[in-house]
RNA sequence: GCCGGCGUAGCUCAGUGGUAGAGCAACUGAUUCGUAAUCAGUAGGUCGUAGGUUCAACUCCUAUCGCCGGCUCCA
């Protein structure tokens, strides 16, 4: 028996969670095998907030099965068995698992590089192929909960055997488990699909699956974000264009999408020509560039286009606003000389940073460098990556390097935003592209009066408006800051008699350009307040006889509650100031269980099984 | 596309072989009220769609569409 080499030093929280979760997966595997004696085990790694294990089972699992598995797990935990590590000679290990019908394990052993140890872990009645490490005793895994069952493929291969995956979570303390489960509940409440319906923002219809229908309030939200996008991009020197969305396939043959992305495009035939709806803005923005002659003095040329995009995503992958077939990217392409990469990247990082700080998102930057299948000249890559790195360093923002994670056409920076519930979303992106300029034979006239090739920078700040709105709705729990709220104020008359004054107040605010509703129904004020609160309207204005006589409104805000009276003009001035400053007047409820451990970086490749 | 679950009134949901139910919303009337739900009445569904089994189907079977949890994909 080998002692754990890390035992002598203090483990980090991430390491402890890794062991705990991995161990809990083993316990679950034993429980499943007790119920289904022939069940073969695939892989069971820890993941960011729990673990899963994939099984090949004779029948689909039900919720009742999960209850039964949990019960058995509790017994194994209570037995407080020790996790014992053993190293086996490769042949012996192979025979061991073959005899037990554990073909997946044999497959794994066959893939373990020669020279590496093959180890197994025993706990109670389970013996599993496993690199470890593990908790020392099963009792550590007391605070677990099984969450869901789903399908999965062996090695993620669609053509391979279909397995059943059970997800679960486990935490060092009962309190943390409870917090985590509360977090899940909170996330459910804030689900943008639920809030989108409740707040009247958007809806879906089966006759256009994967495409949102925006209601008036959602449209206002969308347009307000668009206005902000337009304004901030004008300030940053971008020129906006409007291109078609349907193209002859020749465009995509030139860009390379026809070969590599055709299955994801909507195509149609008309008058003997084959057309496709564009899945991204880059190819046709190249056409724009080519429509004019460019001098090196014109660069960087910043061209933005919020074109309507369509991608024919597989039916089973669609989900709310985060996975759609029709969407708009806040896209732009910057054409630069190779020597301008660094400064332009710096500009873009600044723009992205300013935008996300408006909503109190935390940004994380990942620098993805040259992959193995890269195209183009190595030297070009090296110089560009060096520039990207300098721009990142100059931004003063911390970043991580994902070596080899870049695209084949260029290195990139991915931005992840961490929302108020501690979840990370990939949104903004900055990608260098050496290939498109080649394919479209883009040139500018250089200093030496000879054509030279520009570099293209693809970049998006929000990502897509649809996805960003989904993230924003969940981040804010549907309570938007005043500048963004579809309805900024609702005037509520105390009695029918005051309705006239309520409309006057609304008119004053509307003249300032504010979005105002009047609730003139014959309902009690408590009822009206309640409804305005559930709609998360930033300003709720109560007017009664007293207020009318004094020429004021009684102000209640979503973020601060009841505030007292003020005149409609003072109120309009306050609200306009907030609109202009894009004030974040939202009380953000933050829950972040991951704050210390950061992203659990778990290597699921190789031997993390 | 794959595995599993689900689809009943505008919304949230109950109804498991015998000709559809609640709450909220809507509409009508009463009430005129000071910061998170006033009362009463009325109306509203060919139970996702198409077939099939049955004397009889929301209920069972098949197909199909959509949604949900995942997988896969993500130039």
Active-site pick, A333, A370, A418, A528 = A333
> Tens digit of pLDDT for each residue in A75-130?
898 988 888 888 888 888 888 888 888 888 888 888 887 777 788 887 888 888 88
Q: Which nucleotide is closest to A257, CA to C1'?
A: B75
| pLDDT confidence bin for A8, thresholds 50/70/90 | low
Residue A343 predicted with pLDDT over 70? yes
Residue A309 predicted with pLDDT over 70? yes
Nucleotides in chain B with any atom closer than 7 Å to protein CB: 1-5, 7, 11-12, 30-38, 65-73, 75
> Tens digit of pLDDT for each residue in A419-468?
999 888 999 999 999 999 999 999 999 999 999 999 999 999 999 999 99
Tally of CA atoms within 13 A in the half-sphere of A282 that contains its CB: 23
A151 touches strand B (CB under 7 A): yes
Residue A607 predicted with pLDDT over 50? no
Catalytic residue status for A139:
no
Nucleotide B52 C1' to residue A326 CA (A): 38
A122 or A153, which is more confident? A153
Residue nearest to nucleotide B37 (CA to C1'): A527
Active-site pick, A49, A128, A331, A585 = A331
Query: Which residue bears the tokens 């007391």?
Result: A142
pLDDT number for residue A594: 61
> Tens digit of pLDDT for each residue in A35-51?
888 888 898 888 888 89
> Which of A35-39, A137-141, A336-340 is modeled with the greatest confidence?
A336-340
- Least confident residue range of A72-81, A238-247, A542-551, A552-561: A72-81
User: Which residues 489-508 of A interface with strand B at a CB distance below 7 A?
Assistant: 494-497
| pLDDT confidence bin for A486, thresholds 50/70/90 | very high
Nucleotide B12 C1' to residue A194 CA (A): 12
Residue A239 predicted with pLDDT over 60? yes
Q: Which nucleotide is closest to A524, CA to C1'?
A: B33
Q: What is the largest CA-CA distance in chain A?
A: 93
A126 or A379, which is more confident? A379
pLDDT number for residue A1: 40
pLDDT number for residue A9: 62
pLDDT number for residue A237: 96
**Is the Cβ–Cβ distance between A407 and A371 less than 8 Å?**
yes
Active-site pick, A329, A340, A435, A488 = A329
Mean pLDDT of A334-352: 96
A300: DSSP letter: S
In A196-272, DSSP assigns E strands to 202-203, 213-214, 239-240, 246-248, 267-270
Nucleotide B32 C1' to residue A34 CA (A): 69
Q: What per-residue string of b and e applies to A507-530 under the rule 16 or more CB within 10 Å gives b?
A: ebbeeeebbbbbbbeeeebeebbe
- Helix or strand or coil: residue A352? helix
Q: What would you report as the CA-atom Rg of chain A, rounded to the nearest whole angstrom?
A: 29
Q: Report the alpha-carbon distance of residue A185 to residue A177 in Å, rounded.
A: 12
Q: Report the alpha-carbon distance of residue A584 to residue A484 in Å, rounded.
A: 10
User: Which residues 516-545 of A interface with strand B at a CB distance below 7 A?
Assistant: 522-527, 529-530, 533-534, 540, 542-545
A256 touches strand B (CB under 7 A): yes
Q: Report the alpha-carbon distance of residue A327 to residue A325 in Å, rounded.
A: 7
Mean pLDDT of A321-336: 95
Residue A267 predicted with pLDDT over 80? yes
Kindly report the CATH number that applies to the domain delimited by A13-189.
3.30.980.10
Q: What per-residue string of b and e applies to A183-220 under the rule 16 or more CB within 10 Å gives b?
A: beeeeeebebbebbeebebbebeeeeebebebbebbeb
pLDDT number for residue A162: 83
Nucleotide B61 C1' to residue A151 CA (A): 25
Residue A534 predicted with pLDDT over 80? yes
Nucleotide B52 C1' to residue A207 CA (A): 26
Q: Report the alpha-carbon distance of residue A481 to residue A578 in Å, rounded.
A: 9
pLDDT number for residue A94: 86
Report the DSSP pairing between strands A539-543 and A489-493: parallel
Nucleotide B14 C1' to residue A591 CA (A): 35
Tell me whether residue A344 is exposed, middle or buried, using C-beta atoms within 10 angstroms of its C-beta: 0 to 12, 13 to 18, 19 or more. buried
Mean pLDDT of A245-274: 93
User: Which residues 548-577 of A interface with strand B at a CB distance below 7 A?
Assistant: 554, 556, 562, 565
Task: Sketch the domain layout of chain A as residue ranges.
Answer: 13-189, 197-243+281-476, 244-278, 489-581
A547 touches strand B (CB under 7 A): yes
Catalytic residue status for A271:
no
- Mean pLDDT across chain A, nearest whole number? 90
Q: Which fold has domain A197-243+281-476?
A: BirA Bifunctional Protein; domain 2 (3.30.930)
A451 touches strand B (CB under 7 A): no
Mean pLDDT of A283-294: 96
At A474, give phi and psi (nearest 5°): -75, -35
pLDDT number for residue A609: 45
A345 or A141, which is more confident? A345
Q: Between the CA of residue A584 and those of A285, A334, A360, A417, A507, what are the distances in Å? A: 35, 30, 8, 17, 25
Mean pLDDT of A557-585: 97
**Is the Cβ–Cβ distance between A188 and A195 less than 8 Å?**
no
A515 or A601, which is more confident? A515
Catalytic residue status for A333:
yes
Catalytic residue status for A589:
no
Instruction: Report CA dihedral (A413, A419, A422, A427) to the nearest 10 degrees.
Output: -30
pLDDT number for residue A129: 87
> Tens digit of pLDDT for each residue in A384-420?
999 999 999 999 999 999 988 899 999 999 999 999 9
Residue A261 predicted with pLDDT over 60? yes
| pLDDT confidence bin for A61, thresholds 50/70/90 | confident
Nucleotide B7 C1' to residue A281 CA (A): 37
CATH of A489-581, one of 3.40.1110.10, 3.80.30.20, 3.40.50.800, 1.20.1050.10: 3.40.50.800
| pLDDT confidence bin for A506, thresholds 50/70/90 | very high
Active-site pick, A65, A140, A282, A310 = A282
Comparing CA positions, the residue from A50, A19, A39 lying closest to residue A121 is A19
Q: Between the CA of residue A424 and those of A21, A155, A251, A267, A353, what are the distances in Å? A: 21, 25, 35, 34, 16
Nucleotide B13 C1' to residue A500 CA (A): 40
Catalytic residue status for A458:
yes
pLDDT number for residue A289: 97
Q: Following DSSP, what letter does each residue of A470-492 receive, concatenated?
A: HHHHHHHTT---TTT-SS-EEEE
pLDDT number for residue A603: 41
Q: Following DSSP, what letter does each residue of A580-602 receive, concatenated?
A: HHT----------TTTTT-S---
């Amino acid at each position: 028996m080998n002692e754990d080499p890390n035992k002598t030093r203090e483990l980090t929280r991430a390491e402890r969670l890794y062991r705990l979760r991995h161990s809990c997966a083993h316990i679950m595997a034993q429980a499943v095998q007790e119920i289904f004696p022939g069940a073969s085990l695939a892989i069971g790694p820890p993941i960011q907030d729990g673990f899963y294990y994939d099984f090949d089972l004779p029948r689909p699992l039900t919720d009742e099965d999960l209850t039964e598995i949990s019960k058995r797990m509790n017994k194994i935990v209570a037995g407080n068995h020790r996790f014992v590590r053993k190293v086996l000679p490769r042949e012996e290990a192979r025979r061991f698992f073959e005899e037990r019908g554990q073909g997946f394990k044999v497959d794994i052993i066959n893939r373990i590089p020669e020279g590496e140890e093959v180890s197994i872990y025993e706990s109670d009645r389970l013996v599993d192929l496993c690199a470890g490490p593990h908790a020392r005793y099963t009792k550590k895994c007391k605070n677990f909960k099984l969450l869901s069952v789903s399908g999965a493929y062996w090695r993620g291969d669609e053509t391979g055997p279909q397995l059943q995956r059970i997800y679960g979570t486990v935490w060092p303390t009962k309190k943390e488990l409870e917090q985590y489960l509360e977090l899940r509940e909170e996330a459910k409440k804030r689900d943008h699909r639920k809030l989108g319906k409740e707040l009247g923002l958007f809806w879906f219809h089966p006759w256009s699956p994967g495409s949102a229908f925006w209601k008036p309030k959602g449209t206002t939200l969308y347009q307000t974000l668009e206005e902000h996008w337009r304004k901030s991009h004008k300030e940053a020197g971008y020129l906006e264009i409007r291109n078609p969305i349907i193209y002859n396939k020749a465009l995509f043959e030139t860009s390379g999408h026809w070969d590599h992305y055709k299955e994801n495009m909507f195509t149609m035939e008309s008058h003997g020509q084959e057309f496709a709806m564009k899945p991204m803005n880059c190819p046709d923005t190249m056409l724009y560039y080519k429509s004019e002659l460019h001098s090196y003095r014109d660069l960087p040329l910043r061209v933005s286009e919020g074109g309507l995009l369509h991608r024919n995503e597989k039916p089973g992958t669609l989900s709310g606003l985060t996975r759609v077939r029709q969407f708009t990217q806040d896209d732009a392409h910057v054409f630069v000389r190779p020597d301008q990469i660094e400064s332009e990247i710096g500009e873009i990082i600044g723009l992205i940073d300013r935008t996300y700080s408006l909503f109190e998102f935390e940004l994380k930057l990942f620098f993805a460098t040259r992959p193995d299948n890269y195209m183009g000249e190595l030297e070009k890559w090296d110089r560009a990556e060096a520039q990207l790195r300098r721009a990142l360093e100059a931004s003063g923002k911390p970043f991580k390097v994902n070596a080899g994670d870049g695209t084949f056409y260029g290195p990139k920076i991915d931005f992840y935003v961490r929302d108020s519930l501690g979840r990370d979303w990939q949104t903004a992106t900055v990608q260098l592209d050496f290939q498109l300029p080649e394919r479209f034979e883009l040139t500018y006239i250089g200093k030496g009066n000879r054509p030279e090739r520009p570099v293209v920078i693809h970049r998006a700040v929000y990502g897509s408006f649809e996805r960003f709105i989904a993230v924003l709705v969940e981040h804010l729990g549907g309570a938007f800051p005043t500048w963004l709220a579809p309805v900024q104020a609702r005037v509520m008359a105390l009695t029918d008699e005051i309705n006239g004054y309520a409309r006057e107040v609304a008119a004053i605010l509307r003249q300032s350009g504010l979005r105002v509703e009047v609730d003139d129904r014959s309902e009690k004020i408590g009822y009206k307040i309640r409804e305005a609160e559930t709609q998360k309207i930033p300003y709720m204005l109560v007017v009664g006889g007293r207020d009318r006589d004094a020429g004021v409104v009684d102000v209640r805000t979503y973020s601060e509650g009841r505030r007292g009276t003020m005149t409609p003009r003072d109120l309009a001035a306050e609200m306009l100031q907030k609109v202009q400053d894009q004030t974040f007047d939202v009380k953000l409820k933050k829950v972040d269980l991951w704050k210390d451990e950061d992203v659990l970086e778990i290597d699921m490749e190789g031997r993390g099984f």
